[in-house]
Amino acid sequence: MEELRQAIRSLIRRMELAPTPAGSVEALTLDRLHGLYAAAERAQQAGELGLLFGELRQFWLDSIGWCSQLSKDIERLVILHDELSADG
């Protein structure tokens, strides 16, 4: 679970270094990641974050350009969550 928290925190830090105009996909993603990180801090197991990751996955599919670095970063988080959830 700590690995997931660190991955979320790392992505937040990287995104905060870049300018993110209000209303942009990056700003919306950053808002989602802040909420996800707060929930991850309270969670004992990755499976507890299933609903939030489901929402993040749908946002990723609907809103983030497939070839972008952000898409790759979100995909890594989703895969990590799925792996940790499957492990119990």
pLDDT of residue 87: 82
pLDDT band at 88 (very low <50, low <70, confident <90, very high): low
pLDDT of residue 23: 93
10-68: pLDDT as tens digits: 999 999 999 889 999 999 999 999 999 999 999 999 999 999 999 999 999 999 999 99
Residue 43: alpha-carbon gap to chain centroid: 15
Residue with tokens 């950053």: 30
Those residues with Cβ within 8 angstroms of residue 83's Cβ, 6 or more apart along the chain or in another chain: none
CA distances from 86 to 38, 59, 73 (A): 22, 22, 20
pLDDT of residue 1: 93
pLDDT of residue 51: 97
